[in-house]
Amino acid sequence: MQKAIENRFIHTFSSKDGYKFGFRYGEKTDAKDLIEIFEDVYDYDYLYPYVYDIDEFKKRIRDRSQIWFIVEHLANGKVVATGMVKRLNEISIYAAKVLSKKEYQGKGIMSVLGTRSVLYTLSRPKLRNILRLATEVRAYSKGSQKFADKLNCICYGFIPNYNNYADKREFDIGQGESYNKGRIEPVLMYFSPIKTFWRLRERNIILYDHENISKFYKTMRKNTRRLKHDNVNYQSGKTLSCNDFSIKEDPYKSHILIRGCLKVKTLEHLLEKYDNWNVIEWRVPTTMKGINSQKIALQKEFKVMGYDPGSNYKITHTEDAILFCTFPNGIDVAQFQGMDIYEKNQPIVDLVLEAISGTN
């Protein structure tokens, strides 16, 4: 019996109340079992409706860029928790939400699931070059923030309007619109350096000479020991503008992600196109090429929401990025009620709240 259990599960453990659980890959799990978890926790108000569609969920489980994990109750064989880690690019992975049914919460299951999911993902031969883990955590959960800190994650930003919960099963993304009527909430952004990350990161940092940028960078530098070795150059002169960017739409969250450099006219076109979305997030590189875009972002009243070390991947190195955001639908301050911020993250949150004060 014990040998059969060991062959089926990567890891077995006991919860705080003494019950035995098994941790394993989720690729052979019935999608219905995972759907039950999301229904139990969110009813039908999750961020993405695919978690309620058995055929769509099966596709996700089979997607080789995603690795699903589950926790199973050994006594009755029920799947009680799940989590997913996704590959973003050649050096980065993203740890998505870990989730357990309500009756199994508070028993230490999610802590084991979160830790083991990351460790076993990194142990896979095809992912041996991964140097960076990215994730985000709800601003209402101090416990999750503390857990991220235990995993050597560094908080680098805070974004209002980021999560958008509602029943979206009838929402048709084929119309080109975004779902912006859900319950919004803010999140804390994290990254974790892995292996030789710091050696690959570009330490020559070029910033537009503006108080809003320098305050955020200096706060990150104070909180992150390795940034103290940076060579920082503040620029205020005229530089060449260029279009060298990627853009990603997430209609379910009403979120736009732009990476790279933009000319003024290009940005104005995008602002007009997405004038009814909850968040436009623009990550601008801290390079000479990015100086003009840093300046343009401030001129167009984007707010500095974060400073992300090593997030822009290049063949020989990684570059930092400044996280700018604008909120076409405004910011409902009610989303900040009930936040429970881990003390270590408070300086980041305070900078953002100061930056957006007066924003409707």
In order along its 360 residues, the chain shows pLDDT tens digits of 444 444 689 999 999 999 999 999 998 899 999 999 999 999 999 999 999 999 999 999 999 899 999 999 999 999 999 999 999 988 999 999 899 999 999 999 999 999 999 999 999 888 888 999 999 999 999 999 998 998 889 999 999 999 999 999 999 988 889 999 999 999 999 999 999 999 999 999 999 999 999 999 999 999 999 999 999 999 987 778 899 999 999 999 999 999 999 999 999 999 999 999 999 999 999 999 999 999 999 999 999 999 999 998 887 889 999 999 999 999 999 999 999 999 999 999 999 999 998 665
Specify whether 187 is located in the same domain as 203. Answer: no
Claim to verify: residue 216 and residue 183 sit in the same structural domain = no
Tally Cβ neighbours within 10 Å of residue 211.
Answer: 9
The number of distinct structural domains making up the chain is 2
Q: State the CATH number of the domain containing residue 272.
A: 3.40.630
* pLDDT score for 201: 96
CA distance 93 to 89: 7
Question: 11 with 117, same domain?
Answer: yes
Return the closest-CA partner of residue 23 out of 74, 59, 61.
74
d(CA 225, CA 320): 15
Task: Single out the residue of 274, 285, 275 nearest to residue 249, CA to CA.
Answer: 274
**Whether residue 257 is found in the same domain as residue 125:** no
Same domain? 207 vs 107: no
Helix, strand or coil for residue 330?
coil
Entry field: residues in the chain: 360
- Domain final residue, candidates 131, 158, 193: 193
Contact 156, 306 (CB under 8 A): yes
Q: Give the β-pairing of 231-235 and 204-208.
A: parallel
- Answer whether 221's CB lies under 8 Å from 227's CB: yes
- Is there a single domain that holds both residue 106 and residue 210? no
Same domain (yes/no): 87, 108: yes
212 in the same domain as 155:
no
Token pair 């305070």 in the structure block, residue? 350
Which helix (H) or strand (E) segment holds residue 279: the answer is: strand 279-285
- Whether this model's pTM surpasses 0.85: yes
- Report whether 220 contacts 314 (CB < 8 A): no
Residues 146 and 81: their CA atoms lie apart, in Å, by 20
Mark whether 131 and 161 lie in a shared domain. yes
Largest Cα span, the chain: 72
Same domain, residue pair 167 and 268: no
Cβ neighbourhood burial of 203 (10 Å; 0-12, 13-18, 19+): middle
Report which of 341, 356, 264 is spatially closest to residue 306, judged by C-alpha positions. Answer: 356
Given 152, 172, 193, the domain boundary residue is: 193
CA distance linking residue 281 with residue 186, whole number of Å: 13
Q: What one-character DSSP code corresponds to residue 172?
A: -
User: What is the model's pLDDT at position 3?
Assistant: 45
- Give CA separation, 226 vs 221, 223, 302, in Å: 8, 9, 28
Which two structure tokens, joined as six digits, stand for 102? 């309500």
Q: Among the three residues 193, 208, 230, which one is the final residue of a domain in this structure?
A: 193
Range of the domain at 285: 198-356
60 vs 46: CA distance, rounded Å: 16
- Amino acid sitting at position 62: R
Short-list 118, 15, 34, CA closest to 81? 34
Contact assessment for residue 113 and residue 71, using Cβ atoms and an 8 Å cutoff: yes
Mark whether 124 and 167 lie in a shared domain: yes
Do 178 and 206 share a structural domain?
Answer: no
Closest by CA position to 181, among listed 165, 202, 169, 157? 165
Helix/strand/coil for 19: coil
Say what the pLDDT of residue 358 is.
65
Query: What residues does 183 pair with on adjacent strands?
Result: 165
CATH of the domain at 99: 3.40.630.30
Task: List C-alpha distances in Å: 265 to 166, 268, 270, 295.
Answer: 34, 5, 9, 14
